[in-house]
Structure 1
Amino acid sequence: MTADAGRAADAAEMRGALARLRRATGLPVAFGGLVEPGRPQIRISELSGTATAALRSLAVVSGNGLGGKVVALSRPCAVTEYAAARHITHEYDAAVAREGLRSVLAVPVVVRRRVRGVLYGALRSAQPLGERTLTMAVAAARDVEQALVVRDEVAELLAATRSAAEGGGPGTGTGSGSGDWERVREAHGALRALAPRIADPALRAELLTVCGRLAGTDTGGADVGLSPREVDVLAWVAVGATNAGVAERLGVRPETVKAYLRSAMRKLGARTRGEAVVAARQAGALP
């Protein structure tokens, strides 16, 4: 995924969170933006329920205004009367006034201890924004955070494994050494585990394509009748994970892992976990 495509996907996550925030709280206006790469500021890019374009593309510098304070402190803040609030600076009063906003809250989107964006919710009347509203706003921000975490993990894993997929697997005479290839196998399992959590179809397709290239096939185990979840289980078994460990990584119960493993062994004609892994590699289902 290109940098531009990644930013577009991040913006889409923000739009979805703003819509959910308005539905959950009844707030008439929500808006937000992401931190600009290499700059200590956010750019307001997503608007929901606004009546004007006053806030669009507004650059909010860290420390300035309500959103800038949230970026600097990395915690939620709210004001009941924006124009009169004493604990924020007022560089953006004109834009806020043109939109007719008075009570405003702002919540940071924090990924790996770094603020990546800010979600705002607002009223056109001066009244306190209660604890329930703030809790809902924080929940919306957490949704964005989780999506960004998954996307970051996928990007890192794709970058780490792309060269190995192009260089060839163990025994080819090219590419990674045996130790590096074991790490690639771990990455393969992690990528497959992340796939069901990815809402972006383009990113999910790219991830699964790389998984297929790592395994040396595009079939993903279909030629031997393995289901995607059976391949997921075998991918973690291949790097030494216990049934409990596989269950934790895939978000299922250990009994479910055992069932998938038994089914995979039957399809592969294997009597042990090790034999199943070897057979799956021979079939091109695993790297």
Structure 2
Amino acid sequence: MGDDAGAVRSAVLSLHRATGLPMVFGGALNGRDRLRITELVGNTTDSLSGLVVRQGNGLGGKAMATGRPGWVSDYPRAATISHDYDRPVGREGLLSIVAVPIVVRRQVRGVLYGALREPLSLADRVVTAAVQAARDLEQDLAVRDRADEAMVRYGGHAAPPGPGTEASATAAARWEEVRAVHAELRDLAERVRDPATRDRLREASLRLAAAGRLAPPAASGDPAPPAGPVLSPRELDVLSYVAIGCTNAEAAQRLGLLPETVKSYLRSAMRKLDSHTRLEAVSTARRAGLLP
């Protein structure tokens, strides 16, 4: 769950900036029915750092068990939760707490907390911000999971088959699916908010593209090949959809751009690739290892 912990860290920081709560913390699952609190902002002690919260226990454990947000305005006296963690919570002086589970594909992956050191009801905007932070994180984790699955399924492919190879039609169709996955990864990268997740998706798409590089690898001792053209992320996004047969209008719809914007990116990519047609640009990009 190391990657989940990093994503929780970003969500904790975002929630703290959005709400200004005195303390925000959270953790990812560390086993099937427990989580470890690893990310804290605004803490004055180490009492909660590394604390293992079991499903059903305390406010966070209840959120894990129900899959729904929960909050209390006076933690030590709350009758709706168990009090397994009163001592570490009391040492930190927390009284009003909200806990929101992070649920991806019906599985709890972690919990985000926000807290006050006063027995006050949390404002609706605070609870809403905590829920939204969890939802954003859920989307990022779901996107990352899809990228990981795509890499497992397609990341090990060699270059696409040439004509005349056995079962070439089937293999070619499968390779087109690889290219479709590559385009989807590029698109997903632009939709996530977490910079680390976005970079990981872009890296995954580059690995897929490199797997289909048409130029043969250099032999040991050969001079390094000259550096290829450098396309911007959006130029590569557009070209990846052109490569699977999309029109400018279709690429614009999938990428959430205006058709004229797509045309502009495509013209810029063609210029960098020294190409005069869309097909030539795609072929050049594949030879350069920019597209699968």
Q: Which bin holds the TM-score, normalised by the shorter protein?
A: 0.7 to 0.9
Q: Which runs of 5+ in 2 are unaligned?
A: 218-226
The residue identity in structure 2 corresponding to 1:207 is A
Aligned equivalents of 2:79 and 2:25: distance in 1?
Answer: 22
Contact between 1:40 and 1:62, CA under 8 Å: does it hold in 2?
A: yes
Change (3 A) 1:279 1:102: closer
Contact between 1:214 and 1:286, CA under 8 Å: does it hold in 2?
A: no
Aligned equivalents of 1:154 and 1:244: distance in 2?
Answer: 25
Aligned equivalents of 2:290 and 2:206: distance in 1?
Answer: 13
Map residues 85-104 of structure 1 onto 2, 5 A cutoff.
85-104=78-97
Change (3 A) 1:242 1:27: same
Which residue number corresponds to residue 231 of structure 1? 236
Residues 69-103 of structure 1 deviation map (CA, whole Å, 9 limit, x = unaligned)? 11122221110111211221222222222222111
Please report how far the alpha carbon of residue 133 of structure 1 lies from its aligned counterpart in structure 2 after TM superposition: 1.1
Change (3 A) 1:244 1:48: same
The residue identity in structure 1 corresponding to 2:67 is S
Instruction: Count how many residue pairs are aligned between Structure 1 and Structure 2.
Output: 276
Please report how far the alpha carbon of residue 255 of structure 1 lies from its aligned counterpart in structure 2 after TM superposition: 2.3
Change (3 A) 1:99 1:285: closer
Which residue number corresponds to residue 187 of structure 2? 193
Contact between 1:188 and 1:214, CA under 8 Å: does it hold in 2?
A: no
User: Taking every aligned residue pair, what percent have the same amino acid on both sides?
Assistant: 49
Change (3 A) 1:22 1:262: closer
Which residue number corresponds to residue 128 of structure 2? 135
Which residue number corresponds to residue 162 of structure 2? 171
The residue identity in structure 2 corresponding to 1:211 is L
TM-score (normalizing by structure 1): 0.82
Query: Alignment partner for residue 253 of structure 1, among 246, 258, 266?
Result: 258
Please report how far the alpha carbon of residue 262 of structure 1 lies from its aligned counterpart in structure 2 after TM superposition: 4.2
Which residue number corresponds to residue 25 of structure 2? 31
**RMSD across aligned C-alpha pairs, in angstroms?**
3.1
Name the stretch that deviates more: 145-154 or 69-78: 145-154
Aligned equivalents of 1:235 and 1:28: distance in 2?
Answer: 45
Contact between 1:268 and 1:280, CA under 8 Å: does it hold in 2?
A: no
Which residue number corresponds to residue 207 of structure 1? 204
The residue identity in structure 2 corresponding to 1:21 is L
Which residue number corresponds to residue 100 of structure 2? 107
Which residue number corresponds to residue 118 of structure 2? 125
Name the stretch that deviates more: 96-105 or 140-149: 140-149
Please report how far the alpha carbon of residue 270 of structure 1 lies from its aligned counterpart in structure 2 after TM superposition: 4.1
The structure whose residues are more often helix, as a share, is 1
Aligned equivalents of 2:131 and 2:259: distance in 1?
Answer: 32
Aligned equivalents of 1:65 and 1:250: distance in 2?
Answer: 43
Which residue number corresponds to residue 64 of structure 1? 57
Please report how far the alpha carbon of residue 251 of structure 1 lies from its aligned counterpart in structure 2 after TM superposition: 3.3
Residues 171-227 of structure 1 deviation map (CA, whole Å, 9 limit, x = unaligned)? 285998122111111112123334454622873574254034134069xxx746755
Q: Do structure 1's residue 153 and structure 2's residue 146 form an aligned pair?
A: yes
Change (3 A) 1:46 1:182: same
Change (3 A) 1:281 1:118: same
Which residue number corresponds to residue 183 of structure 1? 177
Please report how far the alpha carbon of residue 264 of structure 1 lies from its aligned counterpart in structure 2 after TM superposition: 4.4
Change (3 A) 1:284 1:9: closer
Change (3 A) 1:214 1:85: same
Which residue number corresponds to residue 223 of structure 2? none
Contact between 1:234 and 1:261, CA under 8 Å: does it hold in 2?
A: yes
Contact between 1:74 and 1:115, CA under 8 Å: does it hold in 2?
A: yes
Change (3 A) 1:279 1:19: closer
